[in-house]
């Protein structure tokens, strides 16, 4: 499969994505746990069907020590016993924030309250921005059919 656009060859994309990816690096440095960030990025990408991001975040998570069991069960995290309460809260928020049109209500008060039990305001801010960031990146990649499978760990950061 060939990408519809080559972002690296486009001067416009180069200028815009330089700043956009800088935001992604800022999130990496936030107080939100790195494992939670990778799980959320991967789950949002699964929902949106972004193969390039699934490739990237699966490999980044594995390189950071994430287990194959947790990576394989992420798609069914509600039924899996391998995720912490905090991770579950983050994943629930990520799913509702990604499926805005499906839910019709945005993020529910219940899901938000559960997240506030596990994360402080700075971490919640990072989580919300991360979910929004991943949804945007997924759309950039899905619309232009960016191929998956050749991502090398550390390349995007």
Confidence of residue 157 (pLDDT cuts 50, 70, 90): low
Confidence of residue 150 (pLDDT cuts 50, 70, 90): confident
Q: DSSP assignment of 62-96, as one string?
A: HHTT--HHHHHHGGGTTT-SSS-HHHHHHHHHHHH
H or E element that contains 22: helix 11-28
Tens-digit pLDDT profile for residues 104-117: 788 999 999 999 99
For residues 13 and 100, the answer to whether their CB atoms sit within 8 Å is: no
For residues 71 and 61, the answer to whether their CB atoms sit within 8 Å is: yes
pTM of the model: 0.92
Tens-digit pLDDT profile for residues 17-57: 888 889 988 999 999 999 999 999 999 999 999 999 999 99
């Amino acid at each position: 499969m060939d990408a519809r656009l080559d972002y690296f060859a486009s001067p416009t994309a180069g200028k815009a994505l330089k700043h956009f990816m800088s935001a992604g690096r800022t999130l990496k440095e936030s107080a939100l746990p790195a494992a939670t960030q990778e799980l959320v990025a991967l789950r949002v990408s699964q929902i949106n069907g972004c193969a390039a991001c699934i490739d990237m975040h699966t490999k980044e998570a594995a390189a950071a020590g994430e287990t194959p069991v947790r990576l394989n069960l992420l798609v069914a995290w509600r039924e899996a016993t391998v995720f912490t309460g905090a991770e579950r809260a983050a994943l629930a928020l990520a799913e509702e924030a990604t499926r805005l049109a499906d839910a019709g209500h945005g993020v529910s008060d219940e899901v938000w309250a559960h997240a506030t039990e596990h994360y402080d305001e700075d971490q919640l801010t990072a989580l919300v921005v991360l979910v929004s960031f991943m949804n945007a990146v997924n759309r950039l990649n899905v619309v232009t059919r960016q191929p998956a499978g050749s991502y090398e760990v550390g390349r995007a950061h």
